[in-house]
Amino acid sequence: MDWGMKNRLSQLMPQGKCFFMPIDHGYFQGPTRNLEQPGETVKPLLPYADAIFVTRGVLRAALDPLTSKPIVLRVSGCTSMVGKDLANEELTTSIAEIIRLNASAVGLSVFIGSEYEKETLKNLATLVNQCEDYGIPVMAVTAVGREMDKREARYLKLCCRIAAELGARVVKTYWCEEHFDQVVNGCPVPVIMAGGPRCETELEVLEFVHDGIQKGAVGINLGRNVWQSPHPVAMAKALRAIVHDNVSVKQAHEILKQTKDSKPKAKA
């Protein structure tokens, strides 16, 4: 691994652990609740995140380059919630633009098992070919579109392994209740957990994150379960403690309660 690649990965994953804050949802969902003004949403959460996962449009328009964290740039898209198929993505951002924006890494979705499996995997291979020349890590996101029932170990470990085989340096995937350790152990590159739809309770978020970290995930990429929480700062602080300090669920829940008691609630 060359120096540039190693340096970028160490920035993104200090001590081999990471908490990425995704605010890229608007690329297919539009102005998602609590993400209408993404710059304002993410500002109080920056102290707890290691990197921000964001599109180039929001990066340019809403984030301060002098105070922001390292950037993982979302570089796939061209579909929407109202379109026919979320899996029909293409690459949206050139390597020249990636370099100009000083991205520490890039991320794109792959839709394995969909009608557009080959196209999205080709997107991944193309992006790896371009980015490796410049020491820029590629994060593959094992997306499932609207088919959330695919989030089980047999499917996820297939997706993660294929993404790694095609050259992804990091894989973002969903946690699953059973056999998540098999998903991680079958993937030769670091695995980061996605959040998915917002959980019903704060404790539920802490429990699944703790379980995933204990089973080998190096970190998290959680958005809605943080900035749609009534107490986003408290949630971010508690999650960071699980990822970076290896605290228990009970300890993290106590951090959350203590922090939210001292902070005003987010706007509904």
**Which sequence positions are flagged as catalytic?**
172
pLDDT digit string (tens) for 166-177?
999 999 999 999
**Could you read off the pLDDT of 64-78 as tens digits, one per residue?**
887 779 999 999 999
Is it the case that residue 218 has pLDDT exceeding 80? yes
pLDDT at 2 (0 to 100): 84
- What is the tens place of the pLDDT at every residue in 8-48? 999 999 999 999 999 999 999 999 999 999 999 999 999 99
- Cβ contacts of residue 115 below 8 Å, gap of 6+? 85, 87, 88
As beta bridge partners, residue 20 has 51, 221
Q: What is the pLDDT of residue 146?
A: 58
What is the residue-averaged pLDDT of the chain?
Answer: 93
Question: Which SS3 state, helix, strand or coil, does residue 145 take?
Answer: coil
pLDDT, mean of residues 99-128 = 96
Residues in the chain: 268
pTM of this structure: 0.93
Look at residue 228 and tell me whether its pLDDT is greater than 70.
Answer: yes
Ramachandran sector of residue 147 (left: φ over 0; alpha: ψ -120 to 50; beta: rest) = beta
> What is the reported pLDDT for 244?
97
pLDDT band at 161 (very low <50, low <70, confident <90, very high): very high
Name the percent of the chain lying above pLDDT 90: 84
The tokens for 51 are 């990197």
The yes-or-no verdict on residue 202 having pLDDT over 90 is yes
DSSP calls for 233-266: HHHHHHHHHHHHH---HHHHHHHHHHHHHTSPPP
